[in-house]
Amino acid sequence: MQPFITKSLTPKTAQEIFGNPNAKSTVGEIVLVYNVENEKKVNLGFPSLEGQIIFARLSDKTGESVELQILP
């Protein structure tokens, strides 16, 4: 996923690239959650349905998370 997490990513393009998320929050910020290997999750945050990505985080089953770099 990392090579596709760029500053121009929107919720629509994220779903076109990665498919439908495993979970989605639309209250306040838009957060798309994708389950990845080893019970980890990637959370992609957007200010609105049309807005560009504002954060990307990888979290494990303990809830610990690390920021993922948003590429130019």
Tens of pLDDT, residue by residue over 17-31, are 999 999 999 888 999
What mean pLDDT comes out for the span 38-42?
95
Q: Name the residue range of residue 32's domain.
A: 2-67
20 domain-assigned = yes
H/E stretch holding 31 reads strand 30-35
Q: Given this model, what pLDDT does residue 68 score?
A: 97
For the chain, how many structural domains are there in total? 1
Q: Given this model, what pLDDT does residue 47 score?
A: 97
What mean pLDDT comes out for the span 19-47?
95
What pTM does this model have? 0.94
7 domain-assigned = yes
- Give the confidence band of 10 by pLDDT, cuts at 50, 70, 90: very high
For residue 17, the tally of other CB atoms under 10 A from its CB is 11
23 domain-assigned = yes
Q: The tokens of 26 are what?
A: 């639309």
Pairing of strands 65-67, 23-25: unpaired
72 domain-assigned = no
41 domain-assigned = yes
